[in-house]
Amino acid sequence: MKKRVFISVIIMIVLASLSVKAVLIFTANPRVTVDYVAEYNRMTCPANYDPNQNAADEYQKAYDAFVKIPREIQEDPYINWPADFNDDSRQILKEWLDSNKQSFEFFKIASHKTYYWLERGAKGNGEMKSMSFPEMTQFRDLIEAKLWDAKYKAIEGQFKSAFEDIENCILAGNQKCQRPSWPFEMAQGYDTKERTIKTVLCMISRIQFSSEILTELQDVLEVQFKKQSYLPYLETRRLEFYDELQRSFVDNGKGTGRLAWSKAKDFTTLCIDSPNPYLACFLGPARNEMVKRMEEKYSAYNSIINKTPYRVYKEDSNYFDKFESCGDCGNADIFVLFPLPNTRFYHHYYRLKARADASISILAIQRFKADKGILPSKLDELVSNGYLKDLPLDPYSNGTLVYRLNESEFTLYSAGQNFIDDGGKEPNKTTANPSGDIVFWPVKKYDQRIKRIDESKDVNTLSLSNK
């Protein structure tokens, strides 16, 4: 009888403990103890901050004065050169660019400031994921307009002004991807510089510049691209992880708190085929496990950031696939729903670096051809003849960018993310696993018409210093 009573008591105690634990699980809520938005602002504020060196006010003036791109110009996305518009659209383009002269003046001033920093705020309850970046769309539209302006000036022979526009756009891109900053801001900086390079290549594919003008443009690019190298920066993204963690996981003081029941519903739309968000409230992962896995991810990311993709690939050919996967997450599928590093940003940086080196090399090739009447047989000739300081290295191979002669034309490309030389063939984006190279030259043309400037005209031999 005593034994039966003892067992009953034990059972009751266990049931009571389970009941208490269940109540705690269902009622425990996360505690927000750190203002990570404020931490972000402290982290990103430039050292020895000087408001006179901050471009924010001038950019805002440029945005306020900006006239949006006309519908007629946006309607045909395949036209990327002013001369390809019909007469009516070309006139609309000119009038639109003229209407933005004031905005462009503010942009020029802003691009020459030391940095572009804005103190960020967050909506609602101050979550980092709700931080506002309203200027990013305005910045993108302004850059697009400035690049159209540069192309329009180029076909008018206003090379000095056109190349200043190119330089200003690169400077603006540099401001956006200064470290430390938000990853998406850095990505916009990369994108700005990439679009500017494409504009340069579009210009030299459509206009037959003299060697002197090509030299001036090459000097502009060398100065701007060689003096700065902005490696991807994800430490601000790490803050977002910790902010999401403190808002989603119970803090029991031991680091073993699990996902709060009240928060599980926030993840169900992302886990339609899995009950894990609710199971995670009982079975894990614990808060300290989430931190451990996240730190492992960031450590792995930081270990490759200074290595080229090819070097990483040679050390472990499956590294990128393994990095993008969750790995041995067990029942922690919820882990992949938190802000984590990925390699897209990393590849964006190295593709941009290759494109910048390629653009300088292409200008050198065109100068060589303008001077000697033939294309160089190989890239080494550009260095030995003083047209290029260094050979352009390919981050996706163990050598330089690939240069191939095709009768009177040439191809310049990178092996791309499959690390295979596909002969200058670009990826087929319709396939599930596209292979192919990153082709920098020839520039893809939507229209074969080329605007050529007569060599006999003075405009073709004008120097930037006297135009």
Asked if the structure places residue 42 within a domain, the reply is no
- What is the structure's pLDDT at 463? 32
The two tokens of residue 395 are: 């981050």
Judged on CB neighbours under 10 Å (0-12, 13-18, 19+), 213 is buried
Q: What is the CA 374 to chain-centroid distance, rounded?
A: 37
Residues pairing with 115 in the sheet:
54
Within this chain, do residues 15 and 108 fall inside the same structural domain, yes or no?
no
pLDDT at 17: 53
pLDDT for the residue 261? 81
Please, what are the averages of pLDDT over each run of 10 residues along the chain (467 residues)?
57 51 57 93 95 97 96 78 91 96 98 96 87 93 97 95 97 92 92 96 94 95 82 89 90 86 67 58 80 89 93 94 66 63 90 96 97 95 96 96 91 95 82 76 62 35 32
Residue 126 maps to a domain: no
Q: What is the pLDDT of residue 335?
A: 62
74 in the same domain as 204: yes
Q: Total domain count for the chain? A: 2
CA-to-CA distance for 335 and 274, rounded, in angstroms?
13
Ramachandran angles phi, psi of 347, nearest 5°: -65, -35
Whether residues 227 and 200 share a domain: the answer is: yes
Q: Would you say 157 and 459 are in contact if contact means Cβ atoms under 8 Å apart?
A: yes
Q: Identify whether residues 100 and 164 lie together within a single domain.
A: yes
Q: Is residue 22 part of a domain?
A: yes
3-state helix, strand, coil in the chain (%, to 5): 55, 5, 40
Residue 128 located in a structural domain? no
**59 and 191 housed in the same domain:** yes
Q: Do 323 and 373 share a domain, yes or no?
A: no
Q: What is the DSSP letter of 427?
A: P
Q: What pLDDT, on a 0 to 100 scale, did the predictor assign at position 20? A: 46
Q: Enter the DSSP assignment of 444.
A: P
**To the nearest 10°, the Cα dihedral for 183, 189, 191, 197?**
-150
Could you say which of 315, 340, 365 is where a domain stops?
Answer: 340
d(CA 447, CA 467): 30
> What letters, b where the CB count within 10 A reaches 16 and e where it falls short, cover 323-332?
beeeeeeeeb
Last residue of a domain, one of 289, 315, 340: 340
How much is the pLDDT for 264? 74
Tell me what pLDDT residue 337 has: 66
Residues 436 and 400 in one domain: yes
Torsion 300-343-183-50 (CA) sign: positive
Q: Does residue 164 form part of some domain? A: yes
pLDDT at 458 (0 to 100): 35
Question: For 123, how many CA atoms within 13 A lie in the half-sphere containing its CB?
Answer: 6
**What does the pLDDT read at residue 333?**
56
134: preceding bond cis by omega (within 30 degrees) = no
User: What stretches of 177-318 show up as alpha helix (H) in DSSP?
Assistant: 183-206, 211-226, 235-248, 261-268, 276-283, 287-304, 309-315
Looking at the fold, whether 96 and 214 belong to one and the same domain comes out as: yes
Per-residue model confidence (pLDDT) at position 180: 87
| 362: in domain | yes
Residues 316 and 209 in one domain: no
Q: Which of 160, 153, 166, 151 is nearest to 463 (CA)?
A: 160
What's the pLDDT score for residue 464?
33
Give CA–CA dist 30/260, Å, rounded.
7
CB within 8 Å of 66: residues ≥ 6 apart: 100, 103, 138, 141, 142, 145
Rounded Cα distance, 435 and 100, in Å? 42
Domain boundary among 340, 357, 386: 340
- Same domain assignment for residues 111 and 215: yes
> Helices 261-268 & 235-248, crossing angle to 10 degrees?
120
* Domain presence at residue 467: no
Q: What confidence score (pLDDT) does residue 452 get?
A: 36
102 and 169 fall within a common domain? yes
Distance CA 439, CA 220 (A): 23
In this structure, the answer to whether residues 62 and 107 fall within a common structural domain is yes
Which structural domain, as residue segments, surrounds residue 281? 2-34+235-340
Residues 6+ apart with CB under 8 A from 446: 78, 79, 80, 84
